[in-house]
Amino acid sequence: AGPRPLAGRRVLITAGGTIERLDPVRYITNDSSGKMGFALAESARGLGADVTLVCARTDGPPPPGVRVVSAESAEEMYEAVMSRVPETDFVVKAAAVADYRPARRQSSKMKKGPEQLTLELVRNPDILQAIGDWKQAGAAEGGAGRRTPFVVGFAAETGDTERYALDKLKRKRCDLIVANDVSQAGAGFGTDTNIVSVYGDEGLVAALPLQSKRAAADRIWQLAIERASSPAAP
């Protein structure tokens, strides 16, 4: 066995795409397969962590050896994550969370009606933002007696990646943000590989070329562990 720098550490990872239901048989979702989150979970487990994986809809089964919590919608994921954040050392938000959900969820199957149907959507809570705000509030109170997790966010972009990723890093108060341009071949949703750039407060930390999601996950953990244990880290 290799080194176990995450031994005794509690890690919370989100994976997959949330499902936002319209009625009992229809929903809005996205293309996330869960592979990136699974790779991060597998990697963390290999490094000795106690891993909780909060899963939305995924294409395959989660890796063995981790605690799995199902959370279908963004609201369910919000509850599952926020209730565990105070006892967590690292949070990694690889899930693709729907920004909007249907304003109304019908209790029975919607019937076919007029030629045109307009769906009204409402904003979902932003989980990563809520964690950042929670950390900030704790720091303002002096942070006594509470764990403040090291937070790694993701940013899925289709252009102008650096600008949007840095904006998300600052706004959502992440310690690191992992950006993928999901319009690039071999990167983003559904693939076994990814191409990611990792950003911190100072800007680009690492640009990782095309590689398996598992190899990228190992590098992301290496960076997170280094920074979480460095004196400069919060």
Active-site annotation, residues: 30
DSSP string, 112-177: P-SS-----EEEPP-HHHHHHHHHHHHHHTT-TT----EEEEEEEESS-HHHHHHHHHHHTT-SEE
Contact 91, 151 (CB under 8 A): yes
User: Of the candidates 56, 66, 94, 228, which one interacts with ligand PMT according to CB under 6 A?
Assistant: 94
CB atoms within 10 A of CB 171: 13
12 is an interface residue for ligand PMT by CB under 6 A: no
CB atoms within 10 A of CB 223: 18
Shortest distance in whole angstroms from residue 110 CB to ligand PMT: 25
154 is an interface residue for ligand PMT by CB under 6 A: yes
| Residue 154 is labelled as binding a ligand | yes
User: Of the candidates 124, 148, 161, 197, which one interacts with ligand PMT according to CB under 6 A?
Assistant: 124
Size of the site for ligand PMT (CB under 6 A): 26
33 is an interface residue for ligand PMT by CB under 6 A: yes
Note the residues at the interface with ligand PMT (CB under 6 A): 32-36, 74, 93-97, 99, 124, 126-128, 153-156, 168, 180, 182, 188-190
